[in-house]
Amino acid sequence: MQETNNDGVSPARPKGRGPLGMFLDLFSSVRFGIALLTLLFLYATVGSAGILYPVGFDIFSAENWRHTFPRTWRGVELTEFAFFHTWVFNGLIALICANLTITTIRRIPFNALKAGVWMIHTGIIILCVGSVIYFTTKVEGDAPVVRREVVVSFPGSNAAPTSLLALPGATAEAEGPEGRYRFQITQIDPEWPILSGEDEGKRVYSVSVMVQTPGGKQFIRQLLAGFPQYTEDVIPGKGRAKKQPEFNGEALVDKSFELSLDYAVRDQFWVKDSSAVYARFAGTRPWVERRVGALPRYNDYLTSPEDVWSFRPGEMLPIDPLDVTLPSQGIVPPGSDDPLAGVQARVVGFIRYAFPRTNIVAGRGSVNPIADVRFRNAEGRVQDARLAALEPRRAIALEGLVSFRWVADAAALEELAGSGKRSMELQVPGMDAPLMVHIAPEDLAEGSVAKAIGDTGYTYRVTDLHERLPTSDGTAEINVLVVEFTRPDKTTLTRWVADDPKRSRDVGAPDAQSGHMAMMDPDASISARYIPSRLSAVTLAGGPGDVGLWALIGADEKGMPRREQLVIGKPVALTSSLTMEISQYISDALEEVRPTIVPREQRDRNTDEVRIASYIKVELSKGEWKEAQWVRFHRYPFESEVYQSAGLAPYEPVDYTLPDGRHVEMIFAQQSFDLPHEVALEDFVLTEHVGGFELAGTSGVRDWTSVLRFSEDGKTWTEAKKVSPNKPVEQDGWWYFQAYWDPPRENDRGLNFTGLGIGNRHGVVVQLVGCTISVIGMIYAFYIKPIIRRKRRERVLAQMASGELGSARREAMALEEPELVNGEPR
Amino acid sequence: MKMRGVLQFVAGVVITLAIAVLALAMSERGSKSKATGFAAAVDLRPLDEAAVNSEGRLKSYASFARDAMARISGGRRINEQAHDFTFLDLMIRPDRYQDTDVIYVKNRQMRARIGELLRKENAAEEARIGRFEKSGLIAERLLFLSPIMAQMGEWQRDLIRTAKFVGMVDTAISMKEPRALAGSLRLVPPAGTDAKAAWFSVNELFPDEQDNPATPGFDESRVAATDVLDPQRRDAVRNAWVAVIGAWREENADKVNASVRELSAALAAVNTAVYPSRTQLRWESLYFRLGNLTWGWLLYLVSVIFLLMAVIYRWEGARRIGLGAFTVAFLVHTLALGLRWYVSGRWPNSNMYEAVTTSVWLGTVLAIGMELIARKTPLRNLFYLSGGVASMAALMSARYIPQLDASIRNMMPVLHDLWLYIHTNVIIASYALIAMAACTAFLYLGWRMIGGGPTYAKAGGTAMLIDSGGKKASAKVSAGEILDGATMVLMELSFVLLWAGLVMGAIWADHSWGRPWGWDPKEVFALNTFLVFLVLVHIRLKVVDKGLWTAILAVIGCGVMLFNWIVINFIISGLHSYA
């Protein structure tokens, strides 16, 4: 390229001498500026769009190309935002600013013709200065603010009130003068219509709390936000207390305590893209925060292959431990102890996207047979089940169709295989000894005939069968045969004959009022016990050593099952369209929960940039003692699981046992940031299109509005301020944005909280001034300067025509068109 | 001479109008049906004035049926029938479609694999499989074959590549069910004056599900909800609906047509307080029946052909004919935008389809303005030409690229802001100018390829216009200078608008998202486009062959702009994914 100087930039000044001169020459070079802009373009392109690279020789086939974002590579690990705040990027911008400044000062004359360029360059430099202010002081994050909390107090008591958040399912207990009260939020209606009184027709936020008093009374207290005078109790199954005669028109059943609604205030938010580990002693409430610096984001860093369960058998996982030491001092809330004081804590592993899975490993010889079974139908649909032979509740699966039993030896296996029959032991008057009768499949069929019991004159007929019924206390299961007995005098008796005779009952006449059948103690003259089959439709039978693992499938007319020896990974046909396969079997199994890394193609893309399914491995050590566990990421470090039901965050703290035996809970979340005020959600307004959210989902929503109040001096609340998309509000230098909301869900009408984006914005005005100057400069340079230039050229021509050659020459020089005077205007 | 010029202009208008009328007629005929028999004889136009509550809007029935069939059959016609007919026919006579290829599979790789499995299973004739691979339409029965079900299950687990497409197939299958179709057909307005209240589906007219002639056994959850309506008016709708169903099953087109007219009138009478303007509904139906007028690309094509001749041969006659054609094309384009504005109740710039069509309209308006300024300069014709090319390309894209969905939907809450109209229109106008600049840059490159010298507009773009103002086209000015000058005029304006648009976007983002600049891919590539033009401006200071570098960078800038609009929007998701 040959330098030309006919488009507005003065020729380069004589080259300077020495390093400073060389520096100034370099930084006043337009070519250098173009090179920097090209680098900026390439940097931005690679950061935002990534790169494509070939993986095969046929570069014309799309299959041979792969795409990657270098910023996500191992060792780089930068978010899009962070990629544009590295020293490389900042340095590039600094060089561009230096180039702009030096070039402008050294090479662009400050005159009317160049005013546009001056303004553009000045504007961009001011914009960069504003951006430095903005990005170096920027703090932003978000926080959910719940609408209300229910405050429990006891009149006359000095104890601090107890509170529970107004979220579905929230519970709390409080110690009153009469004993322990239990409270649970049972229903929240964000638009409860007031049905009477002078406020009739108004729609208000209603919270219903189930109360259990120390005396055992249970009732629901309904609270209306802003209308404490309408608080009243509802008796389950009866209705409003004041309409019940026994309460003499009183609205409240129990006045020994008071419930009221108050703001559920928030005084901090959680910083976007930050990391912190929160710990506390088990059983205590506030978390102690330890802020963590740079953690990976996109790649997995494992300490050993045993860290995780592999998703696919034989999968090779990257072993690349981290070593990020946590600060020795935590941020300890007043009145709390630091559970990690004196303990060294390090982050030694990171997983980007995983889910917790319980799997089995070989134990140390103690018998605990566990098998994983996969059923597959002809369409390829699969159903998995895990069976533990020695745990009664886990020994059966798929509604009792499959079970797993452990046998001591081959003889026991034979006995089990022969136990597929159902039978009943009977004794009626006139019999010396009990009689065992076989319950054949035809006995269980509809319309089965009665059979004689010996020559006693008694008959029996099986009318129904219920197997594996849970007992009322849920601690055991019973098997019941429903049998109709006919006595010699032709009177009948229906009995639920259980395998445990103590649980057998005779069925009496239905209750006249309720219509329910009466269940009575059995008639002592007829004794019966059901002996159920020990086999399911498919029974797995495992035993030690050579006994191996068998499947006992179905039963023939004699009650004998088909036997198949099972081999791991080899399917066994159950029917023509159903197969069964043992995918894992260990006779001395131990169960362990570990993260399982989700394959990339099965990850939710919407969570690509957030750590919603991430884990870190935190190792605690003190002297010889050491314990490391995987800790799941929580969007917010909430103190209890109550937010989980509102769909806000998981709540899965892990438990460490310190050498002194004390337990420490830990979660991984974002760093907290204290606000200079408290924020409360007065109301949340959903504005809808026709049909609304219920019919159209988000398409039916026109707007979300959070009505907020902020504390002033810790005593009073500001006027209500409305925040909705595009309409943020400011308080004490902090801006609040409508970020997300609480949509209705099944059995929950939602609107119980709002999600607020919170951040500062220093330097925005400076940025705006810079931008405005540069825009004006562009308009000037492209549209005003040519007019000025044209007028001046016309003046030169006029001066030449009138013979004022000196003036014309001066004017032409100022226009940088000396050739104009020589009659060669361009 | 003047008279001759007027006649040439009129000739251009007439030629283009003739093409427009032809295109209109074809659209209208195409929207009706190419089917024969009952389907052809049924006239559902009275339902054009009936409103359906769907996706938070009150759409015309034709618009609703079009959207519904887009989900089921990907907008492909079934048995050459019009969508409004097919929707009702699927609901009333589902048996006819038991083995008809109705379900749309969008992904081509999936189609190929399904085709392979169908051949292996010998489940369909080769011709039918071939049709499926081409059109994507397949019968539900074939999708339920075991190997295909198993394959679908596998695809469902790949959330990145295929799960979305399996989800679309599942949606199509469930939507095609008569119960779902009838449940979605919310034709009956609610009682009262609440304009936001949900409308009733036709099933809710029947207190007893057995009385429901369309879909016996339909979900009873809201049955008899319509009891709140005026009984006489409700019964009128009910009776008309029953009559439509009965006549439809009898395949008695005359009776169907009469009942449809009754139904349309009865629906409007149920609750006039909340019923939308029937005129507006009729226009909405017409808008979609006429293919959104995107066939206007043909008219632009006519203008481009003549304007190109005018530029190359400096032929006045071609210029006037081209101008006439351009005028008609622009009017049709304006009509399309105006209709969409009227029907949706908002300026059309809130989704990809609207952004693309409105962008080039704004560009064309600017081109007309520039042409008026440059009408006596050597640059004349080039702005019409480049505006015509950009509009033609954009309207073709809107017509033939399925990703540009023309459905009218509610705006997301975050878009309800004045800055949507300021920032977005400024940005998309700059994009149109960038495309137009690329057009003149291509012409420059073409001229250089056929031997043109390295000439360029010495004064720059707008400066050239200002310097040559009032002068007529001169033979002394080389084509290279003219083309480079036009590129610079367009580039300079796009440069200012793009930067101003970015600044305005930052102002909006600051109060919408809490930060003026978040390095979102869309933001970054808008900045990258600007950087290309920044390099262009500065490189003109340093190189000898300024015209060539300008043309190359103008084309690269357009490429980066298109990358931003296509790749970033459809592949790399970001905060601007709705734009």
> Using one digit for the tens of pLDDT, what is the confidence trace for A236-260?
878 888 888 888 888 898 889 999 9
> B273 at the A interface (CB within 8 A)?
no
Whether the pLDDT of residue B32 is over 70: the answer is no
Q: Across the A/B interface, how many CB contacts are shorter than 8 Å?
A: 218
pLDDT in tens, A486-507: 999 999 999 999 998 888 999 8
User: What is the end-to-end Cα distance of chain A in Å, rounded?
Assistant: 22
Q: Pick the residue with more confidence: A636 or A605?
A: A636
Structure token digits, residue A615: 């884990």
> Which one of A81, A692, A735 has the shortest CB-CB distance to B519?
A81
pLDDT in tens, A591-621: 888 999 988 888 877 665 677 889 999 999 9
Q: Which long-range contacts (CB under 8 A, 24 or more apart) does B570-576 make?
A: B570/B403, B572/A48, B572/A49, B572/A50, B572/B521, B573/A605, B574/B520, B574/B521, B574/B522, B574/B523, B575/B513, B575/B518, B575/B520, B575/B522, B576/B520, B576/B521, B576/B522, B576/B523
Identify the CA nearest to B516 among candidates A133, A318, A680, A698: A133
Contacts with B409 from chain A: Cβ below 8 Å: 699
Identify the CA nearest to A479 among candidates A418, A526, A528: A528
- The secondary structure element, H or E, covering residue B283 is helix B278-289
- Strand boundaries in B22-157, DSSP class E: 51-54, 57-60, 103-104, 137-138
CA B71 to chain centre: 16
> B417 at the A interface (CB within 8 A)?
yes
Confirm if A539 and A562 have CB atoms less than 8 A apart. Answer: no
Quick one: pLDDT at residue A100?
A: 94
Read off the pLDDT band of B221 (50, 70, 90): very low
Identify the CA nearest to A550 among candidates A422, A406, A411: A406
Rounded Cα gap, residues A293 and A290, in angstroms: 10
Rounded Cα gap, residues B182 and B209, in angstroms: 13
Whether the pLDDT of residue B245 is over 90: the answer is yes
Q: How many Cβ atoms from other residues are within 10 Å of residue A596's Cβ?
A: 17
For residue B453, the one-letter residue type is G
- ipTM for the whole predicted complex goes beyond 0.90: no
Quick one: pLDDT at residue B122?
A: 87
B525:A775 CB<8 A: no
* Residue of B142, B148, B160, B532 to mutate, interface with A, max A Cβ within 10 Å: B160
Quick one: pLDDT at residue B11?
A: 81
Chain B residues 186-205 within an 8 A CB cutoff of chain A:
186, 195-199
Structure token digits, residue B52: 């359906």
Whether the pLDDT of residue B28 is over 90: the answer is no
Q: How far is B427 from chain A (nearest CA, A)?
A: 14
pLDDT in tens, B291-342: 899 999 999 999 999 999 999 888 888 999 999 999 999 999 999 999 999 9
* Residue of A9, A48, A702 to mutate, interface with B, max B Cβ within 10 Å: A48
Whether the pLDDT of residue A335 is over 90: the answer is no
Q: How far is A739 from chain B (nearest CA, A)?
A: 8
Whether the pLDDT of residue A325 is over 70: the answer is yes
Confirm if A733 and A760 have CB atoms less than 8 A apart. Answer: yes
Place of tokens 């709540």: A651
Contacts with B508 from chain A: Cβ below 8 Å: 726
H helix intervals, B222-252:
231-250
- DSSP string computed for B139-158: -HHHHTSHHHHHHHHHHHT-
Structure token digits, residue A9: 């930039």
Whether the pLDDT of residue B368 is over 60: the answer is yes
**A51-54 vs A65-68, strand pairing mode:** antiparallel
Indicate the range of A367-376, A566-575, A700-709, B28-37 predicted with least confidence: B28-37
Whether the pLDDT of residue B557 is over 90: the answer is yes
> What is the pLDDT of chain A when averaged over all its residues?
88
HSE (side-chain half, CA atoms, 13 Å) at A656: 28
Read off the pLDDT band of B175 (50, 70, 90): very high
Read off the pLDDT band of A802 (50, 70, 90): confident
Structure token digits, residue B537: 């401006």
> Which one of A692, A699, A778 has the shortest CB-CB distance to B409?
A699
Structure token digits, residue B88: 């009702």
Any idea what DSSP says for residue A463? E
A778:B496 CB<8 A: yes
> B26 at the A interface (CB within 8 A)?
no
Read off the pLDDT band of A3 (50, 70, 90): very low
A775:B503 CB<8 A: yes
Rounded Cα gap, residues A756 and A740, in angstroms: 7
Structure token digits, residue B566: 């296509």
Q: Which residues on neighbouring strands pair with residue A581, listed in sequence order? A: A374
Quick one: pLDDT at residue B157?
A: 83
Whether the pLDDT of residue A823 is over 60: the answer is no
Tell me what the mean pLDDT of segment A508-513 comes to. Answer: 69
Quick one: pLDDT at residue B31?
A: 56
- The secondary structure element, H or E, covering residue A817 is none
* Residue of B161, B519, B533 to mutate, interface with A, max A Cβ within 10 Å: B519
B159:A603 CB<8 A: yes
Read off the pLDDT band of B115 (50, 70, 90): very high
Contacts with A49 from chain B: Cβ below 8 Å: 521, 525, 563, 567-568, 572
- Burial (CB < 10 A; 0-12, 13-18, 19+), residue A573, is exposed
